[in-house]
A = this chain, B = another copy of it.
Amino acid sequence: MTISPFAPKNFPALPPIAGFDMAVAKAGIRYKGRTDLWVLRGAPGTQIAGVFTKSSMPGAPVTWSRRALLAPDDRKSARLIVVNSGNANVFTGEAGDKAAQLTADVAQRVYGADSAAVILASTGVIGEQLDVAKIVRAMPDMAANMSDDLWEESARAIMTTDTYAKGVSVTTQIGGVDVTINGIAKGSGMIAPDMATMLVFIATDANISQAVLQAMLAGFNELTFNAITVDSDCSTSDMVILAASGAADHPIISDPQHPALDDFKTALLKVMLNLSHQVIKDGEGATKFISVNVSGALNDDSAKAVAMSIANSPLVKTAISGEDANWGRIVMAIGKSGEPADPNKLTVSLGPLVIARRGQPVKSYKETDGAAYMKRDNLEINVDLGLGTGVFTAWTCDLTHRYIDINADYRS
């Protein structure tokens, strides 16, 4: 397997977070010789927020976890998150629902948690039955070996076609008290807005009500995980989970506008941006990380539609893979977006190089400058529609031979 050129040398340091411990196991669900099962336990009282795929074909774990988040939380039971890789438990009919129930039941029995307090996530092949017996067999040993310092191992256990484990940690303060946010993510292909085959788990010791957690997660999700695309394909299994143990020694925050939350919001957005960018940098076959900045749209929604049309265009993405400053394809992608746009008001730049201003090619732009710029790993496409004040930034990667290799030649 070719490792992404953006892979960091080392997994970042993720410290223990009060109120959480975890375990990993080699359950042998599909992969041999590697971990594929992860349990994260939050202390009683842990509050959990989540956002999920908008697919109309969600996997059984997505349906299960949506329901679990709605269940009343009596704060007496530990909260568990159980994640397997290798099998997505999607399009598996009633047997798939039973597999989800059985996984929650065994977690309840082994860990002494309410089964309604269990969040499930699965990622991997679609349409094959999940062999729950393997999970059942692995779990007692996991419960006997819980640790608060296994974040890297956790990030590895949930990988599928990922070429590196993804994690980030940020420390901030609420009311003068230090709080930490750790996040891990998996995702590499089938990544598109409205989530992706992307699983993200964020844990913090902050003491914040579920409603406030949910509002922050859903809001920032639009600017981060819903603003990235590898291949325009949206998965059946995506979720982003935010769990807060409340172990930090500050009064509970129940008002989303509470000023003590300002720094935490900045830190959470930073964690989510970082992880979403890591997913793109490990996009299947990616050699370029591309920011698509759209401004001057009639409104932000229109800016997002234009940015996504560019970020999803196979012709834009193949040109970038070939280091061809083929900006005509950017114009094409703006045109196909269906959003209001006027060729005579359009300004297009590659990084600092203005290529066309208000519809007219800029004479000082030289193709050789464009060609030199395209050799960079990190590229910016800047589009000003010249119509209004709407802005949006989307992130994507290039479309390369290796994307075809990965997806034509193997079944992940």
Evaluate contact between A337 and B190: CB separation under 8 angstroms: no
Evaluate contact between A337 and B403: CB separation under 8 angstroms: no
> A328–B313 Cα gap in the complex (Å)?
23
Evaluate contact between B56 and A328: CB separation under 8 angstroms: no
Evaluate contact between A339 and B56: CB separation under 8 angstroms: yes
> A315–B236 Cα gap in the complex (Å)?
13
- Given A190-B315, A313-B233, A337-B56, answer yes or no on A332-B126 (Cβ-Cβ < 8 Å): yes
Could you mark each residue 298-319 of chain A with 1 if its beta carbon is under 8 Å from any beta carbon of chain B, else 0?
0000000000000011110011
> A332–B88 Cα gap in the complex (Å)?
11
B residues within 8 A CB of A233? 313-315, 329, 332-333, 336
- Given A328-B90, A331-B90, A407-B318, answer yes or no on A194-B360 (Cβ-Cβ < 8 Å): no
> A341–B346 Cα gap in the complex (Å)?
39
B residues within 8 A CB of A339? 56
Partner of A326 from the list B331, B403, B411 (CB cut-off 8 Å) is B411
Evaluate contact between B407 and A334: CB separation under 8 angstroms: no
Could you mark each residue 315-356 of chain A with 1 if its beta carbon is under 8 Å from any beta carbon of chain B, else 0?
100110110101111011111111111111010000000001
B residues within 8 A CB of A404? 318, 321, 399-401, 404
CB distance from A128 to the nearest CB of B (A): 8
Closest to A237 in B: B332
Interface residues of A in 214-240 (CB under 8 A from B): 231-236
User: 29 A–B contact pairs at CB < 8 A?
Assistant: A53-B335, A54-B338, A56-B337, A56-B338, A56-B341, A57-B334, A57-B343, A57-B346, A88-B328, A90-B331, A91-B346, A92-B361, A93-B361, A126-B332, A127-B331, A127-B356, A189-B315, A190-B332, A232-B312, A232-B314, A233-B333, A314-B314, A315-B407, A318-B404, A319-B411, A322-B407, A322-B409, A324-B408, A324-B411
> A88–B322 Cα gap in the complex (Å)?
22
Partner of A314 from the list B54, B90, B231 (CB cut-off 8 Å) is B231
> A88–B332 Cα gap in the complex (Å)?
11
Evaluate contact between A331 and B232: CB separation under 8 angstroms: no
> A373–B315 Cα gap in the complex (Å)?
30
Task: Say which size band chain A's interface belongs to.
Answer: 35 or more
> A184–B349 Cα gap in the complex (Å)?
37
Q: Is A389 on the interface with B (CB-CB < 8 A)?
A: no
B residues within 8 A CB of A356? 91, 127
B residues within 8 A CB of A361? 91-93, 127
Q: Is A58 on the interface with B (CB-CB < 8 A)?
A: yes
Interface residues of A in 164-214 (CB under 8 A from B): 189-190, 192, 194
B residues within 8 A CB of A335? 53, 55-58, 234, 236
Closest to A343 in B: B57
CB distance from A320 to the nearest CB of B (A): 8
Q: Is A359 on the interface with B (CB-CB < 8 A)?
A: yes
> A318–B54 Cα gap in the complex (Å)?
23
B residues within 8 A CB of A236? 331-332, 335
Most buried by B among A57, A231, A338: A57
Evaluate contact between B314 and A407: CB separation under 8 angstroms: yes
Q: Is A136 on the interface with B (CB-CB < 8 A)?
A: no
Other A-B contacts than A189-B315, A236-B335, A322-B407, 15 sampled, CB-CB below 8 A, are A54-B336, A56-B342, A56-B343, A57-B335, A90-B331, A91-B328, A91-B331, A93-B361, A190-B332, A232-B232, A232-B314, A234-B332, A318-B404, A399-B404, A400-B404
